[in-house]
Amino acid sequence: MSYIIAQLPGGILSILTILLVLIFLSAWKAPRWVRPIGSIALGFCALSYIFCFFEGLYDINRAQDISPAVMLGGLKTWNWMIIYGVFIYFVSHVISFIQKPIH
């Protein structure tokens, strides 16, 4: 597992982790902000995924002779980033659902 985490882009994951911490803090102090922060995390993750995908395509085009194993390793790394973003989005919805008052 630590091998996978070491491959991921640090800046994007640190921002997503900060958003996850903000979800837990807002669940405690400002429950109305839980879902919007989760949506921001998912949107940021999607934009980062697209940006990294095009950056990877540019690097593949520049290298011209690259093995399929390297390309699939890059795709695997990008998919961990999107899974983390969807996890944060899911956590925000679960917390929001738990905090809703019963009428």
Strands (DSSP E) along 11-103, which ranges?
Answer: none
Q: Give the span between the Cα atoms of 63 and 85, in whole angstroms.
A: 30
Give the pLDDT of residue 7.
55
Tell me, what's the pLDDT at 63? 79
pLDDT digits (tens, 9 = 90+) for 28-79: 888 889 999 999 999 998 888 888 788 777 877 887 787 878 778 777 777 8
pLDDT of residue 102: 60
CA distances from 3 to 30, 55, 80, 82 (A): 36, 22, 12, 17
4 inside domain? no
For residue 6, what pLDDT is reported? 53
Least Cα distance to 91 among 26, 11, 5 occurs for: 26
The pLDDT score that the predictor gives to residue 3 is 55
Is the residue at 2 inside a domain?
Answer: no
Asked if residue 73 belongs to a domain, the reply is: yes
Kindly state whether residue 39 falls inside one of the protein's structural domains: yes
pLDDT, one tens digit per residue, over 77-97 is: 778 888 999 999 999 999 999
Name the residue among 36, 78, 81 with its Cα closest to residue 57: 78
How many other β-carbons are positioned within 10 Å of the β-carbon of residue 87? Answer: 15
Predicted TM-score (pTM) of the model is: 0.78
- Is the residue at 14 inside a domain? yes
- 63 is a domain residue: yes
Domain count of the fold of the chain: 1
The CA distance from 92 to 86, in Å, is: 10
Domain holding 50, by residue range, is 9-98
